[in-house]
Amino acid sequence: MGSMSKITPTLKRLFQRIVGHAFVLDAPEVLKAYECDACVLMKAQPDLVVLPANTQEVAQVVKICHEFEIPFIARGSGTGLSGGTLPVSGGIFIGLSRMNHILEIDPENRIARVETGVINAWLNRDTRPFKLFYAPDPSSQAACSIGGNIAENAGGIHCVKYGVTTDHILGLEVVTPEGDIVSLGGPHGHYRGINWVGLFVGSEGTFGIATQAIVRLTPLPQTIKVFLASFSKLQHAAALVADIMASGLRPSALEMMDDVTIKAVNEAFSTGFPQDAEAVLLIELDGHTDEVAMAEQQLMPLLSQHQVQQLRQAEDEAERLTLWKARKGAVAAYGRILPAFYLHDCVIPRSELVHVLTQIQAIGKAHEVVIANVFHAGDGNLHPNILLDPDDPAMVKRVLAAGEEILKACLDVGGVLSGEHGIGIEKSEFMDLVFTWDEIDVMRRLKQVFDPKGIANPDKILPVKSGCGEVRKGLAPHMLQAQGTWI
Amino acid sequence: MESHNPPLQSLGQPNAFDALSACIHCGMCLPACPTYRVTGSEAESPRGRLYLMRASVEGQLAEPKQLMDHLDLCLGCLGCQTACPSGVNYEALLMQSRQKLVQYQNPVKRWIRRLLLKQVLPRPFILNGFAKVLRLYQISGLQRLVRNLQLPKLLGPLGKQERFMPQIPEGKPISLGQVFGVNQRGRVALFTGCIMNAVYHRVHQATIAVLVANGYEVVIPEQTCCGALAHHSGERDIVESLAKQNLDKLLAANPDWIVVNAAGCGSTLKEYDHILEALPEGRVFSEKVIDVMALLAKRPLAEPLDPVSDRVTYHAACHLHHAQRVQQEPYEVLKQIPGLTLIPLTEAEMCCGSAGVYNLAHPDLSLAILQEKMGHVEKTQADIVLAANPGCMLQLETGIAQSSIAMDVMHPIEILAKAYRDQ
Ligand SMILES: Cc1cc2nc3c(=O)[nH]c(=O)nc-3n(C[C@H](O)[C@H](O)[C@H](O)COP(=O)(O)OP(=O)(O)OC[C@H]3O[C@@H](n4cnc5c(N)ncnc54)[C@H](O)[C@@H]3O)c2cc1C
Ligand code: SF4
Ligand code: SF4
C-alpha cells in the first residue's frame, strides 16, 4: 500500500473488457482477503485483482500495466513463505488460479504441458496412471501452483535425489513485463544459446509471468521403502544424516522432525511416532528392487553406529503414504499449538548440522520461544519454525530476534539464505549479508534488461540501499509496516 | 437493518470464534474448495472466508455484507475441513457466523424463507402434493413443450432454476407407521426425510428390502423434517424445534439405530447433540444415528447375493464423506456384490454443487461446479453413477440431462437391492 492507487475507473474498465467483469475484483473485503500469503506477519493489499483465463489475456493485462506503469504481481496459490506476492508498492495481482489446466501428458517423451496455475499434486495424480511422476514435491504440493514452484525454484522431500524445480522445467511460455509472449526452451529442454529457462526459474516473478510450462516427468520407481528411526537426542539424528550422505548412499528422501513436530503430527494424523523421542528421521530408498536391497544393506550398519531408539519400516503403501502425508502436513499442524509461525530456510553444510541444531535449541531457550524443526535434512535445508501468536507484540519481537540469530548462525558456517522458499520481501534485507553490493548491482542490471520499467513484482529479492548510503539492515519488513514506512 | 458495527463481535461471545486461531493461513485447503476452483478468488476460498470472519470479529469490516456475501456463496460442503491439517473446525465457525448474520438479511426474503422452513418442509403432504403436480407437468408433455418453446430462457433467471427441477417417478411416498421384517440383528427406525421421500421413494423401498434381508426389523415412526436447511441458514430456533420433535418421536420407537439414507439429513441428525445442548437425550439420539451404508459395513452382507453386472462409479456426497466422515464404508459394501464393476471417480469427494438449495440460490455457480464434476463422471464411462444423497442425485441428473452422456443415477442401496432382488 502506501502509494495511492493508480487504478482509475477507465483502467478498471479496460481490465474488465479483457477478462470479463466477474474476474476483476476490487471490493474492499476481497482485497483484504488478498493482503497476505502464507507468511502472515507481513500484509499489504493490492489495488485490484485480475484473474485471466489464458495467456492472451495475461499479455493484454500486462500491456496495460506497462503502458500506465502499474506494478503487477503474479499470484499462484498464495502459499509462499517469503512474502513474494506482497504488493508493497501497490499495483495489481494477476492471479493464475483459473489457468489450471493440464494441457497434455506425453508419456512417450515423458513430458507434460501445463498452465502454470495447475496445482502440483494434480500433475502427479494425472501422470500416475502412466507410471510417471513430476519429481519436485514441496510439502505444500496439495495447494501450491506449478507457476509458484517455478518462481521460487521450489524444492521438496524427494529433491535430495531428484533435484529441485529447475531440473524439471524444460520449457516455458512467458509474458514479459512489456506484455510480449515468448517461449523459452522447449520439449527437449534448452539446447543452445543462453539458458533462459534456467534464468527464469527462481526469479520470483520479477522477470515476468510464466503462463505455461513443459515439465519433465520421471518414471515411478519399481520399489520404495521407508524407514522411520527415532532418537532420544536431536544431535544423534543429525550425526546420522551427515554420515548417510557422506557414505555415498542416495536416499530418495531424508527428512527430520523434532519433538514439537512429532507431537503436532501425531495429533493431526494419528501417526503414532514415538512421543518420547527428541527426533525422528524418515529415510526413503527407491529404485530398482535390487538397487534398493543393496542400499538397505549399506544403510543398516550406519543405523547401528548411531543411537537409534526405535526403527520401523512402513508396512505397505498405505502406511508409507500416511507417513509422507504427515510430514507434508507438519507445518500446518503447528496450528494446533500456536496460530502462526515464522521460519528461516537456510541451507548449511551437512557436516555442520549437529552444531547448528544445538545452537538453534539454545537460541530458542534464550528468547523463550517455541521452535519446531521439520526439514529436508539430506539437503542440509533447515526449517526452524518459530511458533507465535501474531496478536502478542512482545512475542513477535522475541521471535524476530531469535530468527535473526538463527540466520546469522547459519551464515556463520557458510550457509545460504534460502533453500527453496525464496527471498521475496522477507529476506531481501539480508541479501547484503551474503552478497556484495557489486554483486547485487549485477542482479539489478539483469532485472532492468527484462523489466526496464521495474513493474514486475517490484521490491522483491533485491535490497534497497537507501539514499544516504545506510542500509535498513536487520529491520524485518513487518516491523517497517508497524512503523508505517511501507513506501 | 443495516448496521455499521462489526457484525460478529457486536453480538457478544467473542470467544465463540477462538477456533479461528487454528487457521495458520497455509492455503492447503484451497484446491479442495469448489467455489475457489470455479471463481479463482481468494475471497471465495476457505482461507479467505476464515480470514474475513476474523476480520469481522476484530471489527475490521465496514459492514456485515462484506462477510455475508462470501459466506452466502459457501456450499458448506466441508471439503476444506477434510483437507486442513491444522484441524480448523470450519463447520462450527460457519454455523456460528451464519447464526449471527441472519439478522442482517433482507427482512422480506428472510420472512419468506422462514415460512418455507417452518411451514412447508415439515409438512410432507405439501411437498408430496407439489411432487404430484410436478409429475403431471412432466408426464403430460407440458415440460417438453415448455422446454421446446425455449420458455426457460424467457423466464430469465428463473429458467435456470427450472433445469434443477426433479424428475418425479411414479409410485407413492412411504407412509409412516409401518413395520417390516423381523428382528434378528436389531431394530432400526428409518428416517425418511422430505425430498428423499417425495422424489426418491424407490430408495426407501430398496433400503427396507436390503435391511430386512440383512436381518433388521425396520420401523417407520412418525417424524418431521430434519431441519438441515434451517440449520445451514442459521435459523437456530426453527431447527431446535424440529430437532425436539424428531427426538421425541423417533426415540419413542425404541430403535437400536436410527438409519438414514440421505447424507444431508444424516449429518444434521448427528448434530442434534449440539443443537439440543441442554437435553441429555440429544447425545443418546445422535449416537444412534447411522448412515445405511455404514450400518451395512459393520458386518459381512447376508448371503446369498445375486450377481449384478453393472458398471458403476461412486460420487461421495459431501455430507457423508466430509461431514459424517463415512468414507470407506460405501466402497467396502459395494465390493461385496458379485459381478459389480466399481470404476474409481477422480475427485469423487468434490461437491457436485447441489448443497441443499444452493443450486436454486446460485444457479450459475452451481452449474459451473457441476460441470467440473460431470467432466470426471463422463471419463469413467460407467453405466450408473451412485450418490447417497437426494440433492446430489437430483444434481447429477441435471448434469446428465444437459450433456450427451447416457447414465443412470442411483443410490448405492439400490444396487444392493438388485443383489437381493429375488428374496
Ligand atoms: C505448509 C507449507 C509447506 C511448504 N513447503 C515447501 C517445501 O517443502 N518446499 C518449497 O520449496 N516450498 C514450500 N512452501 C512454500 C511455497 O509453497 C512455495 O514457495 C510454492 O512454490 C509457492 O507456490 P504458490 O503457487 O503458492 O505461489 P505464490 O505464493 O502465489 O507466489 C510465490 C511467488 O511466485 C510468484 N509467482 C507465482 N506464480 C507465478 C507465475 N506463474 N509466473 C511468475 N511468477 C509467479 C509470485 O509473484 C511470488 O513471488 C511451503 C509453504 C507452506 C505454506
Ligand atoms: S483452514 Fe486449515 S488448510 Fe486452510 S488455510 Fe487455514 S490452516 Fe490452512
Ligand atoms: S465448505 Fe466447501 S465451499 Fe465452503 S469454504 Fe469449505 S470447501 Fe469451500
Kind of pairing between the strands at B289-291 and B257-260: parallel
The x, y and z cell numbers of residue A289, run together, are 528392487
User: What does the pLDDT average to over A464-477?
Assistant: 44
Which residues lie across from A257 on neighbouring strands? A280, A374
Average pLDDT estimate for B240-259: 94
SS3 label, residue A50: strand
Contact between residue B112 and residue B118 where contact means Cβ atoms under 8 Å apart? no
Residue B400 host element (H or E)? helix B390-402
**Average of pLDDT values for B53-70?**
91
Q: Does A40 touch chain B (CB under 8 A)?
A: yes
| For range A377-405, the mean pLDDT | 93
Q: Give residue A195's identity as a one-letter amino acid code.
A: N
Distances (CA, A) of A124 to A68, A137, A461: 40, 9, 30
B-interface mutation test, from A24, A30, A139, A327, most B Cβ less than 10 A away: A30
What's the average model confidence in pLDDT over A405-419? 94
pLDDT confidence tier of residue A253, bands split at 50, 70 and 90: very high
State residue A482's pLDDT score: 35
Place B1 in a pLDDT band, splitting at 50, 70 and 90.
very low
Give the per-residue pLDDT at B21. Answer: 86
Contact (CB, 8 A) for A152 and A158: no
The answer to whether residue A487 scores a pLDDT higher than 80 is: no
What's the N-to-C CA distance of chain A in angstroms? 7
Torsion of CA B152, B153, B157, B162, to 10 degrees: 20
Pick the ligand that lies closest to the CA of residue B84: 2
pLDDT over 90, % of chain A: 83
* Neighbour order of strands in the sheet with A279-287: A308-313, A223-231, A279-287, A253-258, A371-375, A384-388, A340-343
Q: Does ligand 1 lie within 6 Å of residue A79's CB atom?
A: yes
A118 close to B (CB below 8 A):
no
With a cut of 50, say whether residue B284 has pLDDT above it: yes
Among B20, B23, B28, pick the best mutation site for testing chain A contact (most A Cβ within 10 A).
B28
| pLDDT at residue number B164 | 67
Residue bearing the bigger pLDDT, A194 or B370? B370
Model confidence band, residue B31 (pLDDT cutoffs 50, 70, 90): very high
* Whether pLDDT at B50 is above 90: yes
What's the confidence (pLDDT) of residue B98? 87
Q: What is the pLDDT of residues A127-172, one digit of tens each?
A: 999 999 999 999 999 999 999 999 999 999 999 999 999 999 999 9
Share above pLDDT 70 across residues of chain A, in percent, rounded to a whole number: 94
Q: Identify all chain B residues contacting A97, using CB atoms and an 8 Å cutoff.
A: 36, 40-41
- Give the closest residue to B214 by CA, choosing from B303, B302, B332: B302
CA A254 to chain B, closest CA, distance in angstroms equals 22
pLDDT band at B16 (very low <50, low <70, confident <90, very high): low
ipTM of the assembly? 0.91
B107: which 3 cell numbers? 427482512
Kindly calculate the radius of gyration of chain B based on its CA atoms and give it in whole angstroms: 21
pLDDT band for B292, please (50, 70, 90 cuts).
very high
Which residue among A29, A38, A40 places its CB closest to the CB of B43?
Answer: A29
How does B169-179 read in b/e, with b if 16+ C-beta sit within 10 Å?
Answer: eeeebbeeeee
Q: What pLDDT score was predicted for residue B67?
A: 94
Q: Which residue has the cell 529436508?
A: A376
Provide, as residue numbers in chain A, all residues whose Cβ is less than 8 Å from the Cβ of B87: 267-268, 333, 335-336
All cell numbers assigned to B275? 443443537
At residue B423 the predicted structure's pLDDT band, cuts being 50, 70 and 90, is low
Given a cut of 70, whether residue A1 has pLDDT beyond it is no
Give the DSSP per-residue string, B377-390: HHHHT-SEEEESSH
Ligand 3 atom nearest B46 alpha carbon: 5
Judging contacts by C-beta atoms under 8 Å, the chain B residues touching residue A333 are 85-87
CB distance A287 to ligand 1 below 6 Å = no
For A161-173, the DSSP string reads HH--GGGGEEEEE
CA dihedral B240, B244, B247, B250 (to 10 degrees): -110
Map residue A223 onto helix, strand or coil.
strand
Instruction: Using CB atoms, pick whichever of A29, A142, A334 lies closest to residue B66.
Output: A29
pTM, full prediction: 0.90
Which residues from B are below 8 Å from A385, CB to CB? none
What is the spatial distance between Cα B145 and Cα B140, in angstroms, rounded to a whole number?
9
Protein residue whose Cα sits closest to atom 7 of ligand 3: B33
Contact A268, A257 (CB under 8 A): no
Determine whether the interchain pair A51/B88 forms a contact, defined as Cβ–Cβ distance below 8 Å.
no
Give the nearest chain A residue to B372 (CA atoms): A101
Q: Which of A299-308, A466-475, B175-184, B273-282 has the lowest mean pLDDT?
A: A466-475
A142 vs B31, B45, B87: nearest CB = B31
Instruction: Write b or e for each residue in B288-302: b if 16 or more Cβ atoms lie within 10 A of its Cβ, otherwise e.
Output: bbbbbbbbbbeeebb
Asked if pLDDT for residue A49 goes beyond 90, the answer is yes
Beta bridge partners of A393: none
Other CB atoms within 10 A of residue A124 CB? 17
Please state, in angstroms and rounded to a whole number, the distance separating the CA atoms of residues A464 and B144: 69
Task: Note the pLDDT of residue B10.
Answer: 41
Query: How remote is the CA of residue A79 from the centroid of ligand 1, in Å?
Result: 5
- The amino acid at A211: T
The reported pLDDT for the residue numbered B399 is 93
Show which of residues 249-268 on chain A sit within 8 Å of chain B, judged by CB atoms.
267-268
Chain A positions touching B39 (Cβ under 8 A) are 22, 51
pLDDT digits (tens, 9 = 90+) for B131-172: 666 666 666 666 665 566 565 555 555 566 666 666 676 677
Of B22, B67, B346, the CB nearest to A339: B22
Give the cell for residue A483.
Answer: 512503523
Beta carbons of A353 and A242 less than 8 angstroms apart: yes
Q: What is the mean pLDDT of the segment spanning A412-441?
A: 92
Per-residue pLDDT tens over the stretch A78-115 = 999 999 999 998 999 999 999 999 999 999 999 999 99
| Rounded Cα distance, A238 and B27, in Å | 30
Please provide the DSSP assignment of B105-141 as one string: S-HHHHHHHHHIIIIITT-HHHHHHHHHHHHHHHHTS
Checking if the pLDDT of B318 tops 70, the result is yes
Q: What is the pLDDT of residue A486?
A: 30
Residue B217 has pLDDT above 90, yes or no: yes
Contact A25 B36 (CB under 8 A): no
d(CA A56, CA A197): 20
> Measured between CB atoms, does A329 come within 8 Å of chain B?
yes
- Which residue in the block uniquely carries the three cell numbers 459457501? B74
Q: How far apart are CA A30 and CA A37, in angstroms?
A: 14
Contact predicate A31/A25, CB 8 Å: yes
| Number of cross-chain residue pairs from A and B with Cβ atoms under 8 Å apart | 122
Q: What local confidence, expressed as pLDDT, does residue B153 receive? A: 57
- Size of chain B, expressed as the number of residues it contains: 423
Question: What chain B residue is nearest to A139 in terms of C-alpha separation?
Answer: B28
Lowest mean pLDDT among A184-198, A431-445, B131-145: B131-145
For residue B28, which ligand has an atom nearest its CA?
A: 2
Q: Could you tell me the distance, in angstroms and rounded to a whole number, from the CA of residue A84 to the centre of ligand 1?
A: 8
pLDDT of residue B290 exceeding 60: yes
Of all residues in chain B, the percent with pLDDT exceeding 70 is: 84
- Looking at the predicted structure, is the pLDDT value of residue B7 above 50? no
Predicted local confidence at residue B110, as pLDDT: 76
Q: What is the dihedral of CA B379, B380, B383, B385, to 10 degrees?
A: -100
- Is B9's pLDDT higher than 60? no
CA of B80, nearest ligand number: 3
Q: Which three cell numbers stand for residue A411?
A: 551464515
The CA distances from residue A123 to A75, A300, A421, B46, in Å, are 19, 35, 21, 23
The runs of H, that is alpha helices, within A215-316 are: 234-246, 259-269, 289-305
pLDDT-based confidence at B229, cuts 50/70/90? confident
CA nearest neighbour of A370 among A359, A360, A356: A360
Q: What is the pLDDT of residue B151?
A: 57
Backbone phi, psi, residue B369, to 5°? -70, -40
- pLDDT category at A446 given cuts 50, 70, 90 is very high
Closest CA to A104 of A221, A208, A217: A217
Q: Is B21 in the pocket of ligand 2 (CB under 6 A)?
A: no
Q: How confident is the model at residue B119 (pLDDT cuts 50, 70, 90)?
A: confident
The alpha carbon of A1 is separated from its chain's Cα centroid by a whole number of angstroms, namely 24
Rounded distance from Cα A337 to ligand 2 centre (Å): 14
The residue ranking higher by pLDDT, B176 or B108, is: B176
Rg of chain A over CA atoms, in angstroms? 22
Q: Which ligand is nearest to the CA of A143?
A: 1
Residue B40: is its pLDDT beyond 70? Answer: yes
B157 burial (CB, 10 Å; 0-12 / 13-18 / 19+) is exposed
List the 175-194 stretch of A: residues with Cβ below 8 A of B. none
| Phi/psi at B396 (5° precision) | -65, -35
Burial class from Cβ neighbours inside 10 Å (0-12, 13-18, 19+) for residue B404 reads exposed
Mean pLDDT over residues A294-308, rounded? 94
User: Grid cell 472466508 — which residue?
Assistant: B49
Q: At B93, phi and psi to the nearest 5?
A: -70, -40
Ligand 1 atom showing the smallest separation from residue A332 Cα: 1
Query: Is A339's Cβ below 8 Å from some Cβ in B?
Result: yes
Quick one: pLDDT at residue A270? Answer: 87
